[in-house]
């Protein structure tokens, strides 16, 4: 299934970075403030997750946060 692309190119590239490192994309619910969620490779409730905002105040900073979260995930080798 193809996912929708994020409107901010910096954030979209960070999402692709996360997906290339085994993170999964989960679409947010209809009434959610978040655009989507990213879930780490550990597929249970102890796994890491991160909200992706549709209109971040600073898209470059939000993209950096996504990449830092992916890089610091303790489950990346699982």
pLDDT at 31: 63
Residue 28 lies in a domain: yes
Domain membership of residue 57 (yes or no) is yes
Residue 50 pairs in a beta bridge with 38
In a domain, 34, yes or no: yes
pLDDT of residue 78: 53
Helices and strands: H and E segment counts in the chain: 2, 3
pLDDT score, position 77: 65
Domain encompassing residue 41: 9-72
The model carries a pTM of 0.88
The pLDDT tens digits along the chain (78 residues) read 578 899 999 999 999 999 999 999 998 877 667 889 999 999 888 999 999 998 899 999 999 999 999 999 998 765
Answer yes or no: is 2 within a domain. Answer: no
């Amino acid at each position: 299934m193809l996912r929708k692309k994020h409107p901010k190119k910096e954030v979209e590239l960070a999402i692709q970075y996360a997906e290339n490192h085994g993170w999964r994309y989960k679409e947010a619910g209809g009434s959610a403030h978040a655009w989507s969620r990213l879930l780490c490779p550990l597929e249970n409730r102890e796994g890491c997750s991160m909200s992706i905002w549709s209109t971040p105040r600073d898209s470059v900073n939000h993209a950096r946060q996504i990449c830092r979260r992916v890089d610091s995930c303790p489950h990346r080798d699982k």
